[in-house]
Amino acid sequence: MSAQSFVITPRGPFSLAESATFGFAQRDERSFDGVMRLAFGLDGYGQHVGVELRQDDGGAVHCVVHGDRPDLAAVQRQVERVLSLDFDGREFLAVTDARRKELYWARYSATGGRLAGPSVERPADIPADLPVAGQAVSLYPDQLGEPIWPEHPSAAVLATLVAEAILVAATPGPGATPAAGATPPAEASGPAPAILLPPEPLYLRRPDAQIPGPPKRVTP
């Protein structure tokens, strides 16, 4: 058997030391020697592989694979899944055009919680080191971060989110008695459904009109 290797670049904060000493690894953090060792059966192949993982100072994870020439792409997918490195853990910006050479933007966590905004700023005043979702990416490609989603949300995705929110609102809470003949709802699984906010308008900018002052005095 010979060793192969690949490198994983985490998308967001990641500590190999914390992962290696986390509960499933059952290791005392004082015993961590800088290497995390995994052994598993490769999904769909019937092979067993071992992987040694080291993280460099820049955050990249270097993986050395031991086994009988396994499919490296399959090994990488499985390692990423085990360590949740298949998930984009970065914060991101949602940005759209506010006219007048300004942008309407807000900052979100990887799980969708709003961290800052919404605000109206010039492109140069918006953080440029975060990935961006929204229509404004094509307007200022040299001043904004990496685009991560299509410019416009899919109508199918929006309809699915609304349908899920309506279904959750109509589902009886814990302890409620279903109506006669109704089938009790199944236990929820998977990610929590989107929350449908009330239809309250969010204005793109503060009003710039001013109350007129007293009339100017005119002298003959």
* Residue 183 pLDDT greater than 60, yes or no: no
pLDDT reported for residue 194: 57
Which tens digits make up the pLDDT trace of 124-143? 898 888 888 887 778 888 88
- % of the chain surpassing 70 pLDDT: 78
* Residue 56 pLDDT greater than 90, yes or no: yes
Whether residues 74 and 120 share a domain: the answer is no
* Residue 173 pLDDT grade (very low, low, confident, very high; cuts 50, 70, 90): low
Say how far apart CA 152 and CA 181 lie, in whole Å.
Answer: 42
pLDDT reported for residue 177: 52
Whether residues 14 and 69 share a domain: the answer is yes
Residue 50 in domain: yes
Q: Give phi and psi for 209, each to the nearest 5.
A: -75, 150
Q: CB-side exposure of 129: number of CA atoms within 13 Å?
A: 1
CATH, residue 151: 3.30.420
Sign of the C-alpha dihedral computed for residues 79, 84, 87 and 90 taken in this order: negative
pLDDT reported for residue 23: 56
For the chain, the average pLDDT equals: 78
Evaluate whether 147 touches 139 at the Cβ level (below 8 Å).
no
The pTM (predicted TM-score) of the whole model is 0.54
H or E element: which one contains 199? Answer: none
Which tens digits make up the pLDDT trace of 69-110? 888 899 999 998 888 888 777 888 989 888 888 888 999 887
205 or 82, greater pLDDT: 82
Q: CB-side exposure of 190: number of CA atoms within 13 Å?
A: 4
Q: Give phi and psi for 115, each to the nearest 5.
A: -100, -30
* Residue 195 pLDDT greater than 70, yes or no: no
Instruction: Note down the domain range covering 23.
Output: 2-82
43 or 130, greater pLDDT: 130
Neighbours of 67 (CB within 10 A): 20
Whether residues 103 and 68 share a domain: the answer is no
Number of domains in the chain: 2
Residue 178 in domain: no
Using DSSP, state whether 137 is helix, strand or coil: helix
CA dist 39 → 45, 64, 67, 79 (Å): 14, 12, 10, 10
Decide: residue 61, CB within 10 A, 0-12 exposed, 13-18 middle, 19+ buried.
Answer: buried
pLDDT reported for residue 188: 46
